[in-house]
Amino acid sequence: MSTLITPHTDKRMAEIVEKVQNGQRLNLEDGVYLYETDDILTLGQLANEANLRKNGKKVYFIENMSLYFTNVCEDRCAFCNFRKDQGEEGSYTLSGEEMIQYVEQHIHPGVREFHIVGGHNNHVPFQYYVDSLKALKEKYPQVTLKAYTAAEIDFFTRISGLSIKEVLTELRNAGLETLTGGGAEILSDQYRKKMHVTKANVDRYLEVHRAAHELGMRTHTTMLYGSVESYEDRINHMLQIRDLQDETNGFMVFIPLSMQPKNRNAGIMRRNSAYEDLKTIAISRLMLDNIDHVKAYFINIGPQLTQVALSFGASDVHGTIVREQISHAAGALTPAGLTRKELIWLVKGAGRIPVERDTFYNEIEVFE
Ligand code: SF4
């Protein structure tokens, strides 16, 4: 019998432990049960074992920088405090040159990835989004462009009249190397209706990633949890990602994003508890047996809880970021970025081995 099963382990949890340890996949009912249980330590240990089998004690980070070309957005997702209307105070749309000026002011020498997302600004043509990438790539050819969410790609198809693959190919010719994971929120059309998420629907989100994978791109994927969705919605979200991964093997990492509480009209009663955040990371690790990494995103859960998450199944702590804006607009209380030194401290402080990586998880330096 597994050493994780003790006289205090209930029957249902014992069944799940045995399933995982025998290499069997968890189903919807298992996932929901793991959210309902208060046996967080068994859950954590099980997820920790699953992660150690995949990644050993290595925990990955990257020197990167987040960039936001525009905050003007035609959509009005209920949880978003970043978006503005065109002409509204605080709205902006930067040209390639203006973005380069911003980068020059804030970049630090080791940055190897630009993480680029923004609003769905229909006051500028698709060519603007292509030229923005081109300008950055010309100026910083050594930096990987991880740009746009699946929802942005879907938006570009609408303003350009091109297909998903045509949009991706044009962007790729301009320097795009991978998509960010945003825009998934909760993959449920009912949730999307409740939260006024009128951008890419569930099928479209998955279709964009499928198309990117078919073009040979490896991408990222997220889940924004902590508002009106049920546990069942969260597990169904993970199962849809797992199914697509079975088909394409194109996702590098799953990123659970803890909802920030500023927009109270979005059904968010309070900040997620640390308990809920740890459970979500551990359950993600167990449900998504075909994705290499689960990320603990310190921007949304804080550096200290990120350390604990490394014993609950997480194997990635994102990167330096420099100046995060979206979660901070929504009320994040965390630092807007961490230095390379601080990330190494964070991982070592959790008893793990920090590994500096590139965007595609190739190892740059291991800090044994
Ligand atoms: S989350 Fe994205 S699509 Fe939704 S309103 Fe905000 S910027 Fe627009």
Whether the CB of 76 sits within 6 Å of ligand 1:
yes
Whether the CB of 73 sits within 6 Å of ligand 1:
yes
Whether the CB of 84 sits within 6 Å of ligand 1:
no
Average pLDDT estimate for 291-317: 97
pLDDT exceeding 90 applies to what percent of the chain? 89
Average pLDDT estimate for 64-73: 96
Whether the CB of 75 sits within 6 Å of ligand 1:
yes
- The pLDDT value recorded for residue 330 is 87
Model confidence at 247, pLDDT cuts 50, 70, 90, reads very high
Distance 155 CA to ligand 1 centre (A): 11
Q: Which two tokens stand for residue 275?
A: 């308990």
Comparing CA positions, the residue from 118, 354, 316, 82 lying closest to residue 220 is: 316
Q: Of all protein residues, whose CA lies closest to atom 3 belonging to ligand 1? A: 75
Domains in the chain with CATH codes: 57-366 (3.20.20.70)
Whether the CB of 77 sits within 6 Å of ligand 1:
yes
DSSP string, 303-340: HHHHHHHTTTT--EEEE--SS--HHHHTT--S-S---H
More confident residue, 260 or 208: 208
pLDDT in tens, 180-198: 999 999 999 999 999 999 9
- The pLDDT value recorded for residue 267 is 67
Give the CB-side neighbour count of residue 304, counting CA atoms within 13 A: 3
Determine the Cα–Cα distance for residues 132 and 128; give it in Å rounded to an integer.
Answer: 6
| Ligand 1 pocket: which of 80, 84, 122, 148 to mutate (most atoms within 8 A of CB) | 80
Whether the CB of 183 sits within 6 Å of ligand 1:
no
Model confidence at 262, pLDDT cuts 50, 70, 90, reads confident
pLDDT at 270 over 80: no
What is the chain's mean pLDDT, rounded?
A: 95
Determine the Cα–Cα distance for residues 57 and 310; give it in Å rounded to an integer.
Answer: 9
pLDDT in tens, 230-243: 999 999 999 999 99
In the numeric block, the tokens 């503005």 are attached to 84
pLDDT in tens, 344-359: 999 999 999 999 999 9
- The pLDDT value recorded for residue 25 is 98
Distance 119 CA to ligand 1 centre (A): 6
Q: Please identify, by atom number, the ligand 1 atom nearest to the C-alpha of residue 71.
A: 7
pLDDT at 365 over 90: yes
Distance 197 CA to ligand 1 centre (A): 8
Question: Residue 10: exposed, middle, or buried by beta-carbon count in 10 A (0-12, 13-18, 19+)?
Answer: middle
Q: Please identify, by atom number, the ligand 1 atom nearest to the C-alpha of residue 149.
A: 2
Whether the CB of 192 sits within 6 Å of ligand 1:
no
Q: Of all protein residues, whose CA lies closest to atom 2 belonging to ligand 1? A: 119
Model confidence at 254, pLDDT cuts 50, 70, 90, reads very high
Determine the Cα–Cα distance for residues 31 and 27; give it in Å rounded to an integer.
Answer: 6
Binding-site positions: 73, 77, 80
pLDDT exceeding 70 applies to what percent of the chain? 98
Distances (CA, A) of 25 to 166, 207, 288: 36, 24, 9
Determine the Cα–Cα distance for residues 197 and 192; give it in Å rounded to an integer.
Answer: 5
Binding-site positions for [4Fe-4S] cluster: 73, 77, 80
In the numeric block, the tokens 């991978």 are attached to 178
- The pLDDT value recorded for residue 5 is 87
Q: Which two tokens stand for residue 364?
A: 């740059």
- The pLDDT value recorded for residue 3 is 85
pLDDT at 133 over 90: yes
More confident residue, 322 or 221: 221
Average pLDDT estimate for 70-82: 95
Give the bridge partners for 220, in sequence order: 253
More confident residue, 326 or 127: 127
pLDDT at 265 over 90: no
- The pLDDT value recorded for residue 264 is 61
Determine the Cα–Cα distance for residues 316 and 255; give it in Å rounded to an integer.
Answer: 9
Query: Are 285 and 313 contacting, i.e. CB atoms less than 8 angstroms apart?
Result: yes
